[in-house]
Structure 1
Amino acid sequence: MALNQPPYLINYNVYQSDRFLQQCAQYFAESNEQDERVKLGSLLGSAQHIERCYAANHYPPELFTHDRYGERINHIAYHASYHELMQIAAEQQLHNGVWRSVSPYSHVERTIRYYLNSQLEAGHGCPITMTFAAIPVIQQSPLYPQLQEQLLQPLYDGRDIPFYEKSALTVGMGMTEKQGGSDVRSNTTHATPQGATGEGEVYLLNGHKWFLSAPMSDLFLMLAQTKHGLGCFSVPRWREDGTRNGIHIQQLKQKMGNQSNASCEVELNDVEGRLLGSEGKGVRTIIDMVAMTRFDCMIGSSALLRQSLVQALHHCHYRSAFGARLIEQPLMINLLCDMAMESECALLWTLTVAQWLDSSDIEAKRLARLLVPVGKYWICKRAPQVTYEAMEVIGGMGVMENTPMPRLYREAPINAIWEGSGNIQCLDVLRACEKDPELLSTWFSFIARSCGQYSRYDAVVERLQQELEKYPPSPFNARRLVDEIALLTQAALAIQHMQPERSRLICENLLNRSGRNLGTLVGDFDTAHQWVKDSFTIG
């Protein structure tokens, strides 16, 4: 009989066990959705769903380039559990609910549900996110009336058939090429018009895509060179005449994480696509889509932070050492509280951005423009650190493949790389500030609302202002600037939304991190102890 081991963490409510999320939902979202969140939380924490998440990664996608007769079919077969995950996400309208809803809280509600959904399995979130981000682009095109009904269905249709025969659609992206990932203007794939040029017209694309995720999507938004520069194209996996498009899958990528989600290399051979927007304006056409996928990286990494914390808290609740449960030992309380602080600050930031996305206010739009790339940079970088600490808390069992932690750990670095690495986010912040000279002033006005309570916070705000006067934003100091914005944003939001004893702990520690490891908090033990006890509740 195994002694001193925790029981399996199954059959718990992912939503109801998260007290801080419920408090945030009460403040940011509509109360009439509460019952649906509870229902979703119960489903996601069930033994059946946890096994579903395991199976989708244990049995990865399999590529079949040709059929038995030698015909190219470019088919990827997924385990049944993957299709079940996609169906659950679609029923929650994570891929299209914002664009169906007239609620003033649509982004907030989607963020809450995406956050819950992503804690247990992240791979299927890729096609969900890309579809969510692509719909507004397609809505601006003449193609939308034809696709509207299928794009907005709260359904998932995983059949490998032409898009016009399906009940619902998913949309992928094809941007990255061999010669450059973030530098899309260097792309070599070219598009040739087959008649008239202009929006909605048919072009043939030839070239390659070095990294194409979710290749069984029904449509892809792809960038290709035209006579007048990059254009953005809607590329169906099946042609409109019912034949397969010339998207030839070469191989599946052997990724360290995100294994339930197929990613591949493709060659494009006379691939039929329709121009979205105009020639030479491809980047402008998809720029808002990129912002939405980066926001989802914030949600996904916040979810990873939360689930890593949950695994550590569950273990410490049941595991004893040196005569006491781990969760009652002061040094462990320090570490767990530090992890909880990271998790809750990330969630609060993400939900605040969701609230701004729901708003038509100019200040809200400005703050979202700045704090999406900053959040994508910061939160995605915190996920690997917190996930690793959770593995160490659990100890030897934390590295066992039949536990959730290795999958969480392999997943943790991915959001920091996808949709633009850290340097790209920092350069995007500089571009935003150059384009809108009032952007930093707007942000300073926002964080100034939290001044006057803690001297450390006030001193850091003043120091950054003086630093920017001496060293204006530049590529050389961009990471330092974005770090400062991230830390002050989290502290400001904590002051505005958290209990004073907790916001004080954040200001005393988060603003004085200076490269220290987690678990090095200074401050009130009782506050940290209560924070840990509140972080994960069952029953």
Structure 2
Amino acid sequence: MPHLPPRADLSTHEVTNQPPTRGDIDLWASDPALQTHAGAAGADAAHLARYGATIGTAEMQAAGRTANRQAPELVLFDAGGRRLDEVRFHPAYHQLMKAGVGAGYSAIAWEGAKGGHATHAAMVYLTSQIEPGVCCPMTMTYAAVPALRADEGLFGTWVPKLTSRVYDGSALPLGRKPGATLGMAMTEKQGGSDVRANATVATPDGEAYRLHGHKWFCSAPMSDGFLTLAQADGGLTCFLVPRWLEEGRNAIRIQRLKDKLGNRSNASSEIEYEGALAYRVGEEGAGVRTIIEMVHHTRLDTAMAPAGLMRAALDHAWYWARHRTAFQKQLSDQPLMRAVLADLALDWEGALALGMHVARSFDSTGEGHRAFARLGVALAKFLGNKLCPNVVYEAMECLGGMGYVEDTPMPLLYREAPLNSIWEGSGNVICLDILRTLRKAPEAGEVLAAELGRATGQDARFDAGLKAHMERFPKLPEEGQARWYVESLASLLTAAVLIRNAPAPVAEAYAATRLGAPRGRVAGAMEGVDTGAVLARLGE
């Protein structure tokens, strides 16, 4: 709906030196770095151009802010005291879900088109800039598809609904819905990341099972089903638990919604299975091997989301700097501001480049590429998420006091910044998984070595950084050094991708400031960087 412009000539003063309202933002056209790295990864540029123009409109921005402010509501009982166990969402949430599902966020990777996973990864990046909370249910739905391959019958029943481009948020059984979403419920109080300590019990009931137990974290509890882990006679096993049955509600009791730091639009909950009907996915005792397929794909999204959050924060900071003056000079022309923003932009583009490069390996075939995908996505997830909170904070500071005010997107982005490092394996878990992958899948290390080797001989600082890494870590490190090792390796891989795909000044600046050269610990404490070339990647 068109609106009259707000008044600037107020009774006590005239509003000046404030950036104009942005309005629609074409998130694809305004992001040359995304165009570069999505193209290099083989993503569908035409599809992303349409989605970037749609998801960035002022209407979608407003829906994102509303969905974040109007938190989901837990409704346990109806007026007569009958059990509901439902979560009600603001219409803005459903609007965003409809846009994402309708554009193929959950489906496009499985539709057979070239570059499907890379296109999906770029959609995660774009959606995270508008409202990251809605990404969770769509991400889990996308990632559930390969896990369901462990059971032909469940795959045939569920996957057509999960890959439908129709969003249906109603409380109805699967057979009565044109499209469905799927979540997961794995974490328990006593185990956390150690899912083998799970205590939920699965008891056979004909061809199905009945689950009894408590789940400490269940994301998106209004999904149409959940992949979950429980102890069967044969050991820890993966199950699909429908949310709704033909005869009514399944015995899944929502205990409460988590009061989280961020991710406010997404309901996260504690649940109990009180004899809930469940179907086995894979063999008894093979629960971890089965569910890891889902985790592997959700990790791709947790690697892309921080790049999107960094992009959103830097985009707003850069817009502010180009429309704000201080001390008789535009902020974007002041050398110190340019140094800070350029430094942050290197972290952002590095995370974007590495995430998209790894997404390409999800689209590739062969055991080597598959092994590298597991290794590469862990490296990307670790580094991007460790950088994200500081990038968002520094971008917030560029706005001064306004960056700390909810009238801007910065508080939302700041609250969101730590999440993806915790979800699907915190930093230590990821580091240990990287060491385990390199030990058990030597082909992953071989592909990684080839990736790094392609960048040698083009930048002396990269070559020196690679040499220093090999001298420091001639073999896999002990556990206590794993973070140092992973940060170094992920930074080298990022530099290698930038050398191959990014403009030379960007790749050179990254290698010069990230691979061992002396510098300060804070953003902007660097020298010898072509800030103009780096800042050009933020767009206009």
TM tier, smaller: over 0.9
Asked if the contact 2:323–2:330 (Cα under 8 Å) also holds between the matched residues in 1, the reply is yes
Match of 1:269 among 267, 274, 289: 274
* 1:531 matches 2:537: no
Match of 2:202 among 191, 194, 204: 191
State the distance in 2 between where 1:481 and 1:515 align.
21
State the distance in 1 between where 2:340 and 2:221 align.
41
Paired position in structure 2 for 1:112? 122
Paired AA for residue 384 in structure 1: P
Asked if the contact 2:106–2:120 (Cα under 8 Å) also holds between the matched residues in 1, the reply is no
Normalising by structure 2, what TM-score?
Answer: 0.94
State the distance in 1 between where 2:309 and 2:326 align.
27
Asked if the contact 1:430–1:474 (Cα under 8 Å) also holds between the matched residues in 2, the reply is no
* 1:221 matches 2:224: no
Asked if the contact 1:92–1:113 (Cα under 8 Å) also holds between the matched residues in 2, the reply is no
Paired position in structure 1 for 2:211? 205
State the distance in 1 between where 2:460 and 2:534 align.
23
State the distance in 2 between where 1:472 and 1:17 align.
42
Give CA deviations for 1:398-444 in whole Å, capped at 9, x if unaligned: 01012111000000000011111000000101111121234334322
User: In the TM superposition, what is the alpha-carbon distance from 1:168 to its structure 2 partner?
Assistant: 0.6
User: In the TM superposition, what is the alpha-carbon distance from 1:74 to its structure 2 partner?
Assistant: 0.2
User: In the TM superposition, what is the alpha-carbon distance from 1:465 to its structure 2 partner?
Assistant: 1.5
Paired AA for residue 33 in structure 2: F
Paired position in structure 2 for 1:466? 471
User: In the TM superposition, what is the alpha-carbon distance from 1:451 to its structure 2 partner?
Assistant: 1.3
* 1:124 matches 2:134: yes
State the distance in 2 between where 1:221 and 1:334 align.
46
Alignment CA distance shift 1:36-1:441 (3 Å): closer
Give CA deviations for 1:83-128 in whole Å, capped at 9, x if unaligned: 011000101111122112x222111122222211221110010000
Match of 2:337 among 332, 339, 345: 332
* 1:147 matches 2:158: yes
User: In the TM superposition, what is the alpha-carbon distance from 1:292 to its structure 2 partner?
Assistant: 0.6
Helix, strand or coil: the match of 1:65? strand
State the distance in 2 between where 1:297 and 1:420 align.
10
**Which is worse superposed, 397-406 or 438-447?**
438-447
Match of 1:24 among 37, 40, 63: 37
Asked if the contact 1:155–1:167 (Cα under 8 Å) also holds between the matched residues in 2, the reply is yes
State the distance in 2 between where 1:491 and 1:305 align.
18
**Which is worse superposed, 126-135 or 138-147?**
138-147
Match of 1:53 among 64, 69, 74: 64
**Which is worse superposed, 10-19 or 79-88?**
10-19
Paired position in structure 2 for 1:9? 22
Paired position in structure 2 for 1:38? 49
* 1:88 matches 2:93: no
Asked if the contact 1:96–1:135 (Cα under 8 Å) also holds between the matched residues in 2, the reply is no
1:267-416 pair list within 5 angstroms: 267-416=272-421
**Which is worse superposed, 458-467 or 434-443?**
434-443
Asked if the contact 1:220–1:235 (Cα under 8 Å) also holds between the matched residues in 2, the reply is yes
Alignment CA distance shift 1:206-1:99 (3 Å): same
State the distance in 2 between where 1:487 and 1:148 align.
37
Helix, strand or coil: the match of 1:39? helix
User: In the TM superposition, what is the alpha-carbon distance from 1:136 to its structure 2 partner?
Assistant: 1.6
* 1:137 matches 2:147: yes
Helix, strand or coil: the match of 1:154? coil
User: In the TM superposition, what is the alpha-carbon distance from 1:35 to its structure 2 partner?
Assistant: 4.1
User: In the TM superposition, what is the alpha-carbon distance from 1:226 to its structure 2 partner?
Assistant: 0.9
**Which is worse superposed, 445-454 or 384-393?**
445-454
Helix, strand or coil: the match of 1:529? helix
Paired position in structure 2 for 1:482? 486
Match of 1:103 among 83, 102, 113: 113
Helix, strand or coil: the match of 2:184? strand
Asked if the contact 1:384–1:412 (Cα under 8 Å) also holds between the matched residues in 2, the reply is yes
Identity in percent: 40
Match of 2:447 among 427, 442, 464: 442
Alignment CA distance shift 1:10-1:353 (3 Å): same
Structure 1 gap segments, 5+ residues each: 196-200
Alignment CA distance shift 1:515-1:194 (3 Å): farther
**Which is worse superposed, 185-194 or 429-438?**
429-438
Paired position in structure 1 for 2:182? 171
Asked if the contact 2:220–2:268 (Cα under 8 Å) also holds between the matched residues in 1, the reply is yes
Match of 1:503 among 500, 507, 513: 507
Alignment CA distance shift 1:534-1:290 (3 Å): closer
User: In the TM superposition, what is the alpha-carbon distance from 1:468 to its structure 2 partner?
Assistant: 2.1
State the distance in 2 between where 1:59 and 1:287 align.
33
* Structure 1 segments (4+ residues) deviating >4 Å: none
Asked if the contact 1:345–1:490 (Cα under 8 Å) also holds between the matched residues in 2, the reply is yes
Helix, strand or coil: the match of 1:10? coil
User: In the TM superposition, what is the alpha-carbon distance from 1:287 to its structure 2 partner?
Assistant: 0.8
Asked if the contact 1:10–1:45 (Cα under 8 Å) also holds between the matched residues in 2, the reply is no
Paired position in structure 2 for 1:245? 250
Paired AA for residue 226 in structure 2: F
Give CA deviations for 1:364-412 in whole Å, capped at 9, x if unaligned: 3232221111111111111111000011001100010121110000000
Alignment CA distance shift 1:500-1:533 (3 Å): closer
User: In the TM superposition, what is the alpha-carbon distance from 1:341 to its structure 2 partner?
Assistant: 1.0
Helix, strand or coil: the match of 2:479? coil
Paired AA for residue 233 in structure 2: K
User: In the TM superposition, what is the alpha-carbon distance from 1:343 to its structure 2 partner?
Assistant: 1.1
Structure 2 gap segments, 5+ residues each: 1-13
Give CA deviations for 1:336-379 in whole Å, capped at 9, x if unaligned: 11111111111111111111111114443232221111111111
**Which is worse superposed, 219-228 or 512-521?**
512-521
State the distance in 2 between where 1:509 and 1:294 align.
27
State the distance in 1 between where 2:526 and 2:406 align.
31
Paired position in structure 1 for 2:7? none
Paired AA for residue 378 in structure 2: P
State the distance in 1 between where 2:408 and 2:504 align.
37
State the distance in 2 between where 1:252 and 1:261 align.
10
Paired position in structure 2 for 1:198? none
* 1:181 matches 2:161: no
User: In the TM superposition, what is the alpha-carbon distance from 1:171 to its structure 2 partner?
Assistant: 0.1
Alignment CA distance shift 1:22-1:230 (3 Å): same
State the distance in 2 between where 1:184 and 1:290 align.
13
Paired position in structure 1 for 2:6? none
Normalising by structure 1, what TM-score?
Answer: 0.94
State the distance in 2 between where 1:445 and 1:362 align.
15
User: In the TM superposition, what is the alpha-carbon distance from 1:28 to its structure 2 partner?
Assistant: 3.0
State the distance in 1 between where 2:368 and 2:446 align.
11
Paired AA for residue 520 in structure 1: A
